[in-house]
Amino acid sequence: MRQFSISSDRGDPWAPSTLALRFMVNLAGLWVASKIVPGIEIGDMPSLLAGTAIFAIVNVLLKPLATFVSCCLIVFTFGLFVLVINALLLVLTSAIAGRLNFAFHVDGFGAAFLGGLVISLVSIVPSLFVRPPRVRRG
């Protein structure tokens, strides 16, 4: 009888190097979004760093819950509702950063939707360089 196991060349998803890479990708995505999307304004580098950290924490804590609760809508819209979830998480990030007095502002849902789309597109680039897991037959 054969056994199947999945091994990944990517390593541990919670390894410091992986977390740092994800942080840098989100940082780049937020920076690009602030430059090309009207309505997303980031005042300075400390605000960008804080906004990226808040965005990462909001994504880790709330995105799985939001995805689970809205799974029917995600299936019904062929995955496009994930963009709405990303926009809402970006608006929440802006609200938290504003309460903490950082110069990180997203002006409405439209800007957040376009910003989430830009961040997603920027995030695709590094994933092209990471190989998917391989299935081993043993």
Q: What is the pLDDT of residues 86-133, one digit of tens each?
A: 999 999 999 999 999 999 999 999 999 999 999 999 988 887 776 555
pLDDT at 7: 45
CA-CA distance, 107 to 105, in Å (whole number)? 6
CB burial of residue 90 (10 Å; 0-12, 13-18, 19+): buried
28-43 b/e (C-beta count within 10 Å ≥ 16 → b):
bbbbbbbeebebbebe
Q: How far apart are the first and last CA of the chain?
A: 9
pTM over the 0.85 mark: no
Place of tokens 């990517």: 10
